[in-house]
């Protein structure tokens, strides 16, 4: 008999008995069996490795009857449950070989208990080999009580608006007890605004942490105590959604988490209203800070050469005028700058950097010129190869000094709707590609062979207008 059932759709309320006798079955997908209320007992099938359950509208509980028998799912490695509109509970912890587990778009799921399996002699995790767990779009899920996951490497929670607690049980007693996630490398908790409590466990292997859209900062305080080897950290919209944390505690918890993670190579801070002071480790290579209005100073630890990549936007003028003095980077290769809606000019909080290759400038309404490029400091950027200009709607002309950048090869201009004039690029210039998108006035003025701006770009080898190469 076929070892794989790719998709099964039934009109009745029960699954046929022959499914449970397919001892060679390796993979099965149960999809849109809309009248079925109970899943078939599949746990005894010795070779079954993958199960997908999709669109089972009337299944309310995935219970012990799904496991069936004594030797349960001995070879199952992947289980995915999605789009089951009435499913409220998922209870079994009977997956000794499971490596991947997915709960997607279960609008009525209220409870998941990945319990510890206890025997007369000992207790153990119900998921001893689980490596990847994803729970996404389960709006009624409030609490997760899990065993520890000794093999878990990736954990992903997203769009769980009512999740408040995630607890992990302790296995064993005394010195031999196990609590935590010893192999967890990546933890992403995104758009779970009410989540405040996470396991007070140690995460010795955690490298990547992403937290977004949290009303309370309590989780930051916990994480600052249980992580030690982070290399990548993203914090976005933390504590600004009406939670009960004060700005003082928010600052303290956020600062503790960041300053206890000096091994970071990548740090992104977006919409962090409570952040005031920031200290960066010597390993940092990529830094992104956007819309942190109360940030007043950024420091580098002694001996650091600074990041290779920096992106900043919507920061207070006081920081741009002096707070960046400590992070001048001798190895800066990429810079993304702007917007800064409170200013009427483009700030430049950096001294010269001979290694800068790529510059992205993002405009805003108050900026009327790009006088920045006429400053003498730009002569000190001999390696600048790629220049991208975005959203400078108030700018009508680009300064001629752009054409004097000695290594410029690619110039892209996006959404500069009132731009009329370009700098002249002579035949000997290094520019190889000119890419212009949604700049209608400039497009008319650069009409090939006719427009008043055509002579300025006629020697550029490759010209692209609105994503189409100019023939």
- Looking at the DSSP assignment, which residues form a beta bridge with residue 118? 123
pLDDT value at 10 more than 60 = no
What's the pLDDT at 239?
Answer: 77
Residue that has been written with the tokens 């007693």 in this structure:
173
pLDDT value at 110 more than 50 = yes
CA distance 219 to 376: 47
Least confident of 319-323, 364-368, 432-436: 319-323
Average pLDDT over residues 394-404: 93
Average pLDDT over residues 394-407: 93
Give the pLDDT confidence of 64-84 residue by residue, as tens digits.
Answer: 888 876 668 999 999 999 999
What's the pLDDT at 353?
Answer: 73
- Looking at the DSSP assignment, which residues form a beta bridge with residue 114? 146
Query: Are 329 and 310 spatial neighbours (Cβ–Cβ below 8 Å)?
Result: yes
Query: Are 384 and 356 spatial neighbours (Cβ–Cβ below 8 Å)?
Result: yes
What's the pLDDT at 248?
Answer: 47
The pLDDT mean for the chain works out to 85
Give the pLDDT confidence of 344-356 residue by residue, as tens digits.
Answer: 988 887 766 788 9
Q: What's the pLDDT band for 250 if we cut at 50, 70, 90?
A: very low
What's the pLDDT at 192?
Answer: 95
Residue with more model confidence, 36 or 416: 416
What's the pLDDT at 161?
Answer: 97
Query: Are 169 and 115 spatial neighbours (Cβ–Cβ below 8 Å)?
Result: yes
Give the pLDDT confidence of 22-56 residue by residue, as tens digits.
Answer: 888 899 988 888 888 889 899 989 999 999 999 99
Give the pLDDT confidence of 294-342 residue by residue, as tens digits.
Answer: 998 888 887 778 899 999 999 998 888 766 666 667 789 999 999 999 9
pLDDT value at 92 more than 60 = yes
Q: What's the pLDDT band for 169 if we cut at 50, 70, 90?
A: low
- Looking at the DSSP assignment, which residues form a beta bridge with residue 468? 465
Cα angle 315, 333, 322 (rounded to 5 degrees) comes to 35
Percent of the chain predicted with pLDDT > 90:
50
Give the pLDDT confidence of 143-153 residue by residue, as tens digits.
Answer: 887 767 889 99
CA distance 154 to 116: 20
Residue that has been written with the tokens 């010269």 in this structure:
352
First to last CA, the chain: 60
Can you give the pTM of this predicted structure? Answer: 0.88
What's the pLDDT at 177?
Answer: 44
What's the pLDDT at 242?
Answer: 44
Query: Are 179 and 171 spatial neighbours (Cβ–Cβ below 8 Å)?
Result: yes
Average pLDDT over residues 181-194: 94
What's the pLDDT at 91?
Answer: 79
Average pLDDT over residues 210-232: 86
pLDDT value at 120 more than 50 = no
Average pLDDT over residues 399-423: 95
């Amino acid at each position: 008999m076929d070892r794989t059932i790719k998709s099964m759709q039934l009109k009745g309320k029960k699954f046929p008995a022959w499914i449970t006798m397919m001892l060679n079955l390796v993979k099965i997908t149960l999809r849109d069996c809309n009248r079925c209320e109970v899943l078939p007992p599949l746990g005894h099938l010795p070779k079954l490795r993958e199960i997908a359950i999709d669109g089972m509208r009337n299944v309310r509980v995935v219970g012990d009857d799904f496991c069936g028998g004594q030797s349960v799912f001995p070879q199952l490695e992947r289980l995915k449950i999605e789009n089951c509109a009435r499913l409220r509970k998922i209870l079994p912890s009977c997956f000794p070989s499971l490596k991947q587990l997915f709960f997607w778009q279960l609008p009525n799921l209220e409870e998941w208990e990945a319990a510890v399996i206890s025997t007369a002699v000992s207790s153990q995790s119900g998921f001893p080999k689980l490596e990847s767990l994803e729970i996404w779009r389960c709006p009624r899920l409030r609490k997760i009580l899990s065993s520890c996951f000794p093999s878990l490497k990736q954990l992903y929670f997203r769009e769980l608006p009512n999740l408040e607690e995630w607890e992990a049980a302790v296995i064993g007693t005394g010195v031999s007890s196990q609590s935590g996630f010893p192999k967890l490398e990546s933890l992403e908790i995104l758009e779970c605004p009410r989540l405040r409590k996470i396991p007070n466990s140690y995460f010795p292997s955690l490298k990547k942490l992403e937290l977004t859209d949290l009303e309370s900062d309590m989780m930051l305080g916990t994480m600052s105590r249980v992580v030690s080897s982070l290399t990548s950290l993203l914090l976005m919209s933390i504590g600004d959604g009406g939670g009960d944390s004060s700005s003082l505690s928010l600052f303290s918890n956020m600062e503790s988490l960041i300053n206890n993670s000096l091994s970071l190579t990548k740090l992104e801070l977006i919409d962090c209203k409570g952040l005031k002071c920031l200290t960066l480790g010597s390993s940092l290579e990529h830094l992104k800070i956007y819309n942190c209005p109360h940030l007043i100073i950024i420091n580098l630890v002694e001996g650091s050469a600074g990041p290779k990549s920096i992106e900043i936007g919507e920061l207070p003028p006081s920081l741009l005028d002096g707070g960046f003095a400590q992070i001048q980077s001798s190895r800066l290769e990429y810079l993304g700058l702007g917007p800064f809606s409170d200013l009427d000019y483009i700030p430049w909080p950096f001294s010269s950097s001979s290694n800068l290759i790529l510059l992205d400038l993002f405009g805003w309404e108050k900026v009327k010129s790009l006088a920045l490029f006429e400053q003498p400091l730009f002569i000190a950027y001999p390696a600048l190869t790629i220049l991208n200009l975005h959203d400078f709607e108030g700018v009508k002309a680009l300064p001629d000094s752009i054409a004097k950048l000695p290594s410029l090869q690619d110039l892209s201009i996006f959404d500069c709707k009132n731009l009329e004039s370009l700098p002249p690029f002579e035949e000997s210039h290094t520019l190889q590609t000119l890419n212009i998108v949604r700049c209608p006035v400039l497009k008319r003025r650069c009409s090939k062979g006719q427009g008043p701006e055509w002579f300025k770009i006629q020697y550029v080898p490759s010209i692209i207008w609105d994503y189409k190469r100019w023939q």
